[in-house]
Structures are given as structure tokens and as C-alpha cells.
């Protein structure tokens, strides 16, 4: 049994973490952090947790929470964690950062894309990127600073990693991504109001979405060469879910030899033993409704020989595999628990 705390427990990701950890047999959740709600009963503010927790919200720093907890989850906006996480904290507690502060290995790249100064660049090399199916379990099990990937990046990287690893795709990869509104957080915003979102879909942050360098970093590491992506996110009127559709032209060397069978073989080789990655049957493509509330990544793919384009689709729940579920998966690996512990739910339907 380990003890856990959450900083930012009143946001969508923090609430999802509480839901998952409250039923985890190996974890005692001690702290649910929120400055604005400090002192309020958690279940009073978050009605879905009624009768499931006696916790009160508390206002505590990362350092104070780490003093009591074996693992601390940071569900915070970018720019905060890097100013508060220290080597001293990491000596006594595992930090799983669901924000962006430790995902990029380059301080300069982080500051360019996020527009803030990094507060602890000396820790960047200590951080491990927490995407188990790509990075591997050993690296995660040995670190006390785990950078939990972004939601768009999880779907984008997992769905294209076998192509990048095999080096068969020409750049740029064209990634068309769509997300439900919970991906933008729980704060009040005119652009997220029902009347603004309902019955509409829009692209946003073209050429400038902050998940772009994260995707390129990981695919580049797999490829051994620079990988560029043209990433276009869209906001769709649903609560949960991410759907990505990626278009990749094969390299000239492979184009004449590539078949759908060979393409599928790359995915089966890489993901055949993965619990949370479901490679869909030929001709079947992912839908967000089939992964809702779960830690699964559903992947469908095809090779259009008429146009010479590889098409790969992926669906995840942005709050689970795209955030809280992946964080729990990383915690399980780090502390030697069964990787599926607390994450075995069948997706919700409808």
C-alpha cells in the first residue's frame, strides 16, 4: 500500500484521478489539493464522489504534499510544476506531472512553445516520458519524475509509432485531430460555453498547438531522424474523447512494396502484447464512444494504393488514457503493481 496526493484535484483531470485512485486496492489517497476550495468536503463539491470519499480539499504546496505521500500527481497548468519541484522532493516522493513542464527535453524548445521560463531545467534529464507502450517500462520504473504525456500526443504518437520506428513514412505526417471540450479544462471560458460549442466544430491553433513539438520529439526518437508533423486540432461538441486521423505518404523506397498486410504487421509486432492498445480488425476504424471511460487506445489503419497514402486512425478518452488513466498506469509501473490495477473497467456505453 502506498500513499498518494493530488495537486489540482478540482479540475477534470484531478477529478478523474480521484475516481480511479479511490478504488485502487494498493493506494490510499491522502490529499486532494485545491487552493480555491480548501476546507470544503470533496464530495460536496464533486457530487459523483458522494459516499466514496471523506476527504476535504486542502491548500498545500507540492513540498508539503510530498512530505506525506509516496506519489504526488500534479494536475496543474504549465509553468507551475517547474518552479516548485526540486531534487529534495524527488528524493522522497515520486512526482507524476500531468502538465507540460517536463515533457520536452529542450529547455529552449519548451520556452519557445509555452512562452514561460522553465524553473528547473536541471531536472529535465531526470524526467522520463511516461508513455509505457513507447518508452518502455524499465525507464519508468527507475525514475521519480514522470512526465505524463498530453492527450493529443498520446493518440498521435501511439497511432504512428510503428511507421516512425520502421522509417517508412515521408514527412510531414499530416495529423487531423478532434477533441471533446473537457480537454480544454474546467475553467470558465466564453469559447467553451454550451451556446458557443454546441452544433459547431472548429479548428484552432493551426501551426501553433503546443503538443506539436512533443509529438515530433518522440517520433523523431523512434525514427532516429527528424520527424515533422502538420498538426491540426479541432474542438467538437462532446465531453470526452479524442479522434486522430493521420495521413502519411510512404517513402519512395517502400512505396512500391508496401501492402496493407505488411503495414498491419508493423503494428502487430509493436503492440501485439499490449493490454491497452487494441488494433481493430481490417476495415474497422475507431470511434470515441468505444473507449469512453477507459484506458484503451483503439487503432484502425489502411493503405490506399490508389492515392499512395497510409491512413491511421486512433481514439482515446482524453481524461483517462490521455491523462489520469495513463498517470495511474505509470504509477503502477513505478511501484511494481500490476499495470492494469485500477484500470480494468470496460468502456462506458452509450
Residues identified as active-site: 151
Q: What are phi and psi of 173, to 5 degrees?
A: -75, 135
**Helix/strand/coil (H, E, C) string of 82-138?**
HHHCCHHHHHHCEEEECCCCCCCCCHHHHHHHHCCCCCCHHHCCCCEECCHHHHCHH
DSSP 147: E
User: Is residue 219 helix, strand or coil?
Assistant: helix
Adjacent-strand bridge partners of 246? 175, 312
Adjacent-strand bridge partners of 225? none
Please report which residue ranges of the chain form alpha helices under DSSP H: 12-21, 42-45, 62-68, 81-84, 87-92, 107-114, 132-135, 137-141, 151-166, 194-197, 212-223, 252-255, 260-271, 325-334
Distance CA 337, CA 298 (A): 24
> Are the C-beta atoms of residues 75 and 56 closer than 8 Å to each other?
no
As a whole number of Å, the CA-based R_g of the chain is: 20
Closest CA to 123 of 97, 138, 93, 145: 145
Distance CA 21, CA 33 (A): 14
Amino acid at each position: 500500500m502506498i500513499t498518494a496526493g493530488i495537486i489540482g484535484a478540482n479540475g477534470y483531470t484531478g477529478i478523474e484521478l480521484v475516481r480511479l485512485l479511490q478504488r485502487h486496492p494498493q493506494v490510499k489517497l491522502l490529499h486532494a489539493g485545491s487552493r480555491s476550495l480548501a476546507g470544503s468536503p470533496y464530495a460536496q463539491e464533486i457530487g459523483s464522489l458522494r459516499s466514496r470519499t471523506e476527504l476535504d480539499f486542502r491548500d498545500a504546496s507540492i513540498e508539503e504534499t510530498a512530505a506525506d505521500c509516496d506519489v504526488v500527481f500534479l494536475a496543474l497548468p504549465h509553468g507551475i510544476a517547474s518552479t516548485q519541484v526540486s531534487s529534495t522532493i524527488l528524493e522522497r516522493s515520486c512526482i507524476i506531472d500531468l502538465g507540460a513542464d517536463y515533457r520536452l527535453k529542450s529547455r529552449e524548445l519548451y520556452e519557445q512553445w509555452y512562452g514561460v521560463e522553465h524553473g528547473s531545467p536541471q531536472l529535465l534529464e531526470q524526467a522520463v516520458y511516461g508513455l509505457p507502450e513507447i518508452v518502455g517500462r524499465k525507464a519508468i520504473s527507475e525514475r521519480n519524475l514522470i512526465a505524463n504525456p498530453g492527450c493529443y500526443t498520446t493518440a498521435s504518437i501511439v497511432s504512428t509509432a510503428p511507421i516512425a520506428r520502421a522509417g517508412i513514412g515521408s514527412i510531414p505526417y499530416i495529423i487531423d485531430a478532434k477533441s471533446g471540450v473537457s480537454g480544454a479544462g474546467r475553467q470558465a471560458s466564453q469559447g467553451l460555453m454550451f451556446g458557443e460549442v454546441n452544433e459547431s466544430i472548429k479548428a484552432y491553433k493551426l501551426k501553433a498547438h503546443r503538443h506539436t513539438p512533443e509529438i515530433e520529439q518522440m517520433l523523431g526518437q523512434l525514427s532516429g531522424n527528424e520527424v515533422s508533423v502538420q498538426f491540426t486540432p479541432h474542438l467538437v461538441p462532446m465531453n470526452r474523447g479524442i479522434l486522430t486521423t493521420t495521413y502519411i505518404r510512404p517513402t519512395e523506397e517502400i512505396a512500391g512494396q508496401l501492402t496493407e498486410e505488411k503495414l498491419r504487421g508493423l503494428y502487430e509486432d509493436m503492440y501485439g502484447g499490449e493490454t491497452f492498445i487494441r488494433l481493430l480488425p481490417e476495415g474497422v476504424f475507431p470511434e470515441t464512444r468505444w473507449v469512453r471511460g477507459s484506458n484503451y487506445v483503439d487503432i484502425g489503419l489502411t493503405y490506399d494504393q490508389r492515392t499512395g497514402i497510409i491512413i491511421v486512425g486512433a481514439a482515446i478518452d482524453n481524461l483517462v488514457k490521455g491523462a489520469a488513466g495513463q498517470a495511474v498506469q505509470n504509477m503502477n509501473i513505478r511501484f511494481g503493481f500490476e499495470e492494469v490495477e485500477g484500470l480494468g473497467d470496460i468502456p462506458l456505453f452509450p
